[in-house]
Chains A and B, each alone.
Chain A
Amino acid sequence: MSERTPVPIGTAESAFDRRRRLFGVMFAWLCGAATLVGVAALVVLLVDVLIDGLPRLDVQLLTSFASRFPERAGVRAALAGSIWLLVLTAVISFPVSVAAAIYLEEYAPKGWITKVIQTNIANLAGVPSIVYGILGLALFVRAMGLDRSILSGALTLSLLVMPVIIMASQEAIRAVPPTIREAAYGLGATRWQVVSYQVLPMAFPGILTGTILALSRAVGETAPLILVGAVGFVAFTPRGIMDQFTVLPLQIYSWISRPQDEFRELAAAGIIVLLLLLLTMNAAAIILRNRALARR
């Protein structure tokens, strides 16, 4: 072997070494900048809304109904409607979606029919929400005679979020290690026992996160609800699922389309309320997930 001249480390950087180091640094900056775009947009939105809306954000806003006079108007009906709709949509879509996900992952034979169903669900998740609105109008409002009720709205929104919840749940169920299933089957557990005692508890945090994210999207929906008959001006809080209703995004829209500046401030305040509602939901998702994870 030939003798090597010892080279101290850090003294022989070639052009190639310099270039790849530079690329590394540039790549990191580029990714950082991309992150900033999203953050900056959010900050601008928040600041703008807060400046306009904060002066109007008070208890009166939450306790008053819509009104012709901006100083007397509030989001009471819209907030109540949104919460009603949210809860009812969750109650309808969660069990159906999770059951569908369980069927597709654990029971369905792996044939072409399952593949067709699977592809359809993925496509449904991408269907524009207005289309669900048309379906809701034809099916729930007219054909089933549910009228322009909260129930019609919740059923329509359920159709909208179900594909998303199904796919998120399937993902969570698939993430349960196969070794856990094998272990349970190996002990003489039936399929139902394996699913209900091992797979579902392990998949639950993921299912929950997916559900709450999908519901957050539903809370912000306007278009399908206009079609199924949510109205911009409601002067009462709903008392049952067959009542008429309005929701926050619709209330915001109806205010923002008015010429007076006061209504625009009111709309900004409404946006803050909507954002707070979404924030609460996401916080709930995180808390519930952490609690489920801690129980392991």
Chain B
Amino acid sequence: MATVYGIDLGGRGPALQARGLSVYYGEKHAVQNVDLEIPANQVVALIGPSGCGKSTLLRCFNRMNDLVKTARVDGTVDFHGQNLYASGIDPVEVRRRIGMVFQKPNPFPKSIYDNVAFGPRMNGLDGDLDATVEESLRRAALWDEVSDRLDDSAYALSGGQQQRLCIARTLAVKPEIVLMDEPASALDPIATQRIEELIYELKRDYTIVIVTHNMQQAARISDYTAFLYMGQLIEYGPTETIFTNPREKRTEDYVTGRFG
């Protein structure tokens, strides 16, 4: 069993609660019986070596694994007391309320404006689209750089700007939780720093779960850290404890760089 420390929920229910979560890719048992409680308005980092199942676990939280035809998910993920995997739950609604930012910036081949407006348009939220676009771009700290060229192609932006555009696009559908799958791994240090500052800003309004390969990044930006190894949750608790005083030997070896 995993070592799990008390998670301070701040008097509220958890934003997400996974119980007995398992994912199979064909024969491969990629995530094994994971219990995880994500507190609201906090940043939770998922760390672990390549192939440990952290991205797969992240994708369980908004049912992105549904798109992988060979994947099968067992267990429950509760969101406001409702299991996301219960029959009758529409994954489309799940993904609108639990957004996702991907590893590589993946803007649509459209204008900056249309990229941000796509989500609201698809979800029928286009009341005042201009205002939504502006607000989302401001929140993603991109507005000042693009406000005078919203009709330009998103491909004309730099990698770091594209990733902030993808964050803005995610925020535009007003999710409660934002899942980030190594959002800065394809970016240079300056762009990475901007994304990290942004994550710090965003946690006031959103719950953030972030997968990262970069342990310094996890230590810098997260409140809680979960260490996964070979599909299992090994240790989960306050980031400071995980990095300075872990109880599990494997966690200590990993965070001190002895393997992984």
A residues contacting B by CB (< 8 A) are 109-110, 177, 179-190, 193, 197-198, 202, 296
Contacts and interface: CB of A to CB of B under 8 A. Distances in A.
A275 B86 CA distance: 62
B108 A186 contact: no
B109 A202 contact: yes
B200 interface: no
Contact of B95 (A177, A179, A185, A296): A185
A186 B103 CA distance: 13
Describe A's contact surface by its main secondary structure: helix
B40 interface: no
Interface string B17-47: 0000000000000000000000000000000
B53 interface: no
Contacts of A187: 95-96, 99, 118-119, 122-123, 169-170, 172-173
A189 B108 contact: no
B109 A190 contact: no
Interface residues of B, number: 29
B155 interface: yes
A213 B100 CA distance: 40
B93 interface: yes
Contacts of A186: 62, 64, 95, 99-100, 102, 170
Interface string B168-181: 01101100000000
A247 B232 CA distance: 69
Given A179-B106, A182-B102, A183-B106, A110 B69 contact: yes
Contacts of A182: 64, 67, 100, 102, 106
A205 to B, nearest CB: 11
B83 interface: no
Interface string B100-141: 101010111110000000110011000000000000000000
B92 A179 contact: no
B153 interface: yes
B84 interface: no
A14 B52 CA distance: 50
Nearest to B114: A197
B166 interface: yes
Given A180-B108, A198-B108, A190 B92 contact: yes
23 contacts: A179-B102, A180-B106, A182-B67, A183-B102, A183-B106, A183-B166, A184-B108, A185-B64, A186-B64, A186-B95, A187-B99, A187-B123, A187-B172, A188-B93, A188-B97, A188-B119, A188-B122, A188-B173, A189-B123, A190-B122, A193-B122, A202-B109, A296-B155
Contacts of A296: 109-110, 153, 155
Residue of A110, A185, A188 ringed by the most chain B CB atoms within 10 A: A188
Contacts of A110: 69
Contacts of B92: 188-190
A193 B173 CA distance: 15
Contact of A188 (B96, B106, B166): B96
Contacts of B96: 187-188
B95 A188 contact: yes
Nearest to B97: A188
A184 B93 contact: no
B106 A177 contact: yes
Interface in B53-112: 62, 64, 67, 69, 92-93, 95-97, 99-100, 102, 104, 106-110
